[in-house]
Amino acid sequence: MALLNKPKTAPTALFGSASAARWAGPVILAAFFLCGAVAGCLTAARAAAPADDALYAGLRDYLSLLTRPETGRLLGHAFLGAFAYHLAVFFLGLTLFGVAFIPLTLAARGFFLSFAVTAFARVFGSSGLLLALGAFGGPTLLTLPCLLALGQAGLSSSWALLGAARGLSPKPAFTAAYVFRFVLFAAVLALAALFETFVAPPLVSWLAGRLI
């Protein structure tokens, strides 16, 4: 009888079954990321003239940094870019706010990534897509799966906190597995930052010299 009367966790109570709850997190995060990516693409396409737009100014500064790299400055920029979203998701997963703000963090990541790629294409035409691939392809290939996996873990953790607050689940949010997962991903993020610092600049310079 105790098993039959076992309280549901917050996600299970919301989605109706454990299986649905397990699938809901990744689907929600992917949907928010894609919505952010679409919004970023449309914003870049409809923005003011690239020479006058503030977002494009930041992109030009980044491209200049890649083609004429200052290693120390670029390394700091790369580590900040690699870790910012993941740290936000990690700490949001330890709060009730993570239920709402983790998906929004994924949407923001999708927005700025898509904006940058679309901006490259708008300024440089089809060649811009290859430049964007050289600049963002390697780091994104490493960091995005980590962000999605960490987002799922953070969302589950935040749901557990919400469930505990509502008396639905006694499961603690802060666990060794949660921290270990972030530490493991941090090694991958560091690799992505090193790639952006030491591999992307010569690659983008080589592409720019042949495409622009």
Q: Is 161 strand, coil or helix?
A: helix
CA distance 62 to 130: 16
Residue 108: count of CB within 10 angstroms of its CB = 19
Is 32 a residue whose pLDDT tops 50? yes
Amino acid at position 38, single letter: V
209: pLDDT strictly greater than 80: no
Category of 167 on φ-ψ map: left (φ > 0), alpha (ψ -120 to 50) or beta: left
Residue 44 is given by DSSP the state H
| pTM for the structure as a whole | 0.82
Q: What mean pLDDT comes out for the span 39-61?
A: 71
Contacts of 126-131 with CB under 8 Å at 24 or more apart are 127/207, 127/211, 127/212, 130/207, 130/211, 131/63, 131/204, 131/207, 131/208, 131/211, 131/212
The conformation of residue 93, written as its DSSP 8-state character, comes to: T
Distance CA(119)–CA(59), nearest Å, equals: 8
Mean pLDDT on 19-45: 86
**Which helix (H) or strand (E) covers residue 170, if one does?**
none
Q: Which helix (H) or strand (E) holds 1?
A: none
Token readout for 166 is 């509502």
Q: What is the pLDDT of residue 74?
A: 80
Q: Is the pLDDT of residue 175 over 80?
A: no
Q: pLDDT grade, residue 49 (50/70/90)?
A: low
149, 161, 117: which is closest to 30 by C-alpha?
Answer: 149
Residue 4 has pLDDT above 50, yes or no: no
What residue spans define the domains of the chain?
17-211
Enumerate long-range contacts of 176-183, CB under 8 Å, 24 or more apart.
Answer: 178/93, 178/153, 181/149, 181/150, 181/153, 182/86, 182/90, 182/150
- Please provide the average confidence, as pLDDT, over all residues in the chain: 82
Distance CA 87, CA 186 (A): 10
pLDDT digits (tens, 9 = 90+) for 54-87: 556 666 677 676 666 677 778 888 999 999 999 9
Identify the CA nearest to 53 among candidates 109, 122, 108, 135. 122
Q: What is the pLDDT of residues 180-203, one digit of tens each?
A: 999 999 999 999 999 988 998 888
pLDDT for res 5: 47
74 and 66 Cβ atoms separated by less than 8 Å? yes
pLDDT single digits (tens) 133-153: 998 999 999 999 999 999 999
- pLDDT, residue 191, reads 97
